[in-house]
Amino acid sequence: MSTTQNLADHTLRAAIANGKMNRRAWLVTGMLVLFQIVNFADKAVLGLVADPAMRELGLSAGQFGFIGSAFFFLFAIVGIVVGFLAGKVSTRWILLTMGVAWAVLQFPMLFGGGAAILLVTRILLGGAEGPATPISLQHAHGWFNAKERGLPSSVIAAGSTLGPIVAAPILAWIIANPALGWRWAFGFLGIFGLLWSLGWLLVGRDGPYSHAKPEPSKNDSVAHSGAHAESAATGEPQQEQPAALDPEGKGSIADSSDLLKIVPIRRVLGSWMFVAAVLAGAGCFWAQGFLTTWSPKYLGSVVALSPEMIGLVSTFPWVVGAIALLVLGFGSRYLMKRGVTVRWALGALFGATLLISGICFSILPFLSGYAAVAMLTLGAGTAMIYPLAPTAIAFSVCSKQRAALMATLTGLASVGGVVAPAMVGGLMDRAGYIPSPKGVADSAEMAGLLAQGMNTSFGMIGIYLVIVGIFCVLMLNPDRTARKLQTSFTFTG
């Protein structure tokens, strides 16, 4: 028997080794990575244009922070609504609609919009991006069996960290270019978003594990036929089949997650598992909100970096986040393939990483200069692992309820993103920081007051992340939640 015949269907190794049907799975995954890159570049652009936009539009730190927070005003509402809709509508078309909306909403600022237009477009853009992560994960899960979902989920999540990494240097160059300026940063994202939407229209499909009926292509049909023929010849199953659910079992719920029945979702939302995920997710969104709104300003005023260097250094936390997601993704896949429960393979790893992030933020106020930048990079980077939370809790329900559950989690957790920009801006105002006029750099005194306000926020989020990290290790247990719900509402009828 050949080595390639021993590889599990729909894995990355199999895709490389034999190039059969799973090429479509990884092509779709690649498009979703690009989708997440656009998603987070849209968030990061506001922080990169902070200095020229505040001066040209005459905004104070508090006012600009409010615009940053406004991104999340509709984020939760739209995310939850679309999450429930995804149980009935193909996620392929939801993703296409989001991609087009993101692109169109960038152009008003390119064409001369003022502070009011910036506020309105950020509110609408936040609503359009609210369902991004849960819908992306739901769509990807439709292409992979249960034990293989951790890796593609982490790869897609890494795309969210690649957004600022890839886009920040490009956008920083556009902003610093006298022939273009900060408004063209929005225009560039709009054009790229339209190109992605066209590509998705051509290649996006629903997978074989999706609750929606797949749309088979010619290549998919040939590959399926080949896989069936190989199965008949070798006597081996075409793909791994889920084990029957054991309500009293202590093993991983991943063994039977595709056999779960529909349960009252309010029972999941009221579980300690879900509460832990929401609180932890809020901390992750706080870090994202800070990075996308205030981090470039921090680097420019406190460390006095040039605009080009700000664009480069701003990517460092996202690089750390991408590495953390990939390491945790491979780690969770390794553990689950060996029968480790979802609680320990995903939930505990997620919580432990947030604990590390909290420790870093707690230390940050006592540092300055490049040491502070290094600690901020590590603390914020290890908080970029939010997508592991919806991936973990998705194991507790059936496929039709996963998008609704993940979207509700994302919507509630996004409160952290609402709080962060306004909280930091308010603390800066309280410390006495006043933005310098257009064309004038912040004085040493103003830079010190800016750092004072930000350090107060770092200490607060550090303590919070330490607490919720420990809470997740103890309570983020999809295996227990799934069995409890299935026993109560399926086995006892």
The pLDDT value given to residue 38? 87
The domains of the chain, with CATH numbers, are 9-213+252-491 (1.20.1250.20)
In 3D space, the residue among 21, 407, 11 whose CA is nearest the CA of residue 208 turns out to be 21
Reported pTM: 0.72
Q: Are 242 and 330 in contact (CB under 8 A)?
A: no
Half-sphere exposure for 36 (CA within 13 Å, toward CB): 27
The pLDDT value given to residue 356? 97
In 3D space, the residue among 17, 482, 28 whose CA is nearest the CA of residue 210 turns out to be 28
Q: How many residues does the chain have?
A: 493
Q: What is the pLDDT along the chain (493 residues), one digit of tens a residue?
A: 444 455 554 444 554 454 444 678 888 999 999 998 888 788 778 888 888 888 888 888 888 888 888 888 888 889 889 988 887 888 899 999 999 999 999 999 988 888 899 999 999 998 988 888 889 988 888 888 777 777 788 788 788 777 777 877 888 888 888 888 889 999 999 999 999 999 999 988 888 877 665 444 444 443 343 333 333 333 333 444 445 555 556 678 877 776 788 888 889 999 999 999 999 999 999 998 898 788 888 888 777 777 778 878 888 998 898 899 889 988 988 898 888 999 999 999 999 999 999 999 999 999 988 898 899 999 999 999 988 999 899 899 887 888 889 889 988 998 898 888 889 988 998 999 887 776 677 788 888 898 899 999 999 999 999 999 999 999 999 999 998 888 876 544 3
The structure tokens 């992979």 sit at: 144
The pLDDT value given to residue 349? 95
The pLDDT value given to residue 248? 57
Q: What is the C-alpha separation between 76 and 408, in angstroms, rounded? A: 7
Residue 172 structure tokens: 């920083």
Q: CA-CA-CA-CA torsion for 349, 418, 134, 184, nearest 10 degrees?
A: -110
Give Cα 197 to chain centroid, integer Å. Answer: 19
127 backbone dihedrals φ, ψ, rounded to 5°? -65, -40
The pLDDT value given to residue 15? 47
In 3D space, the residue among 30, 295, 65, 304 whose CA is nearest the CA of residue 168 turns out to be 295
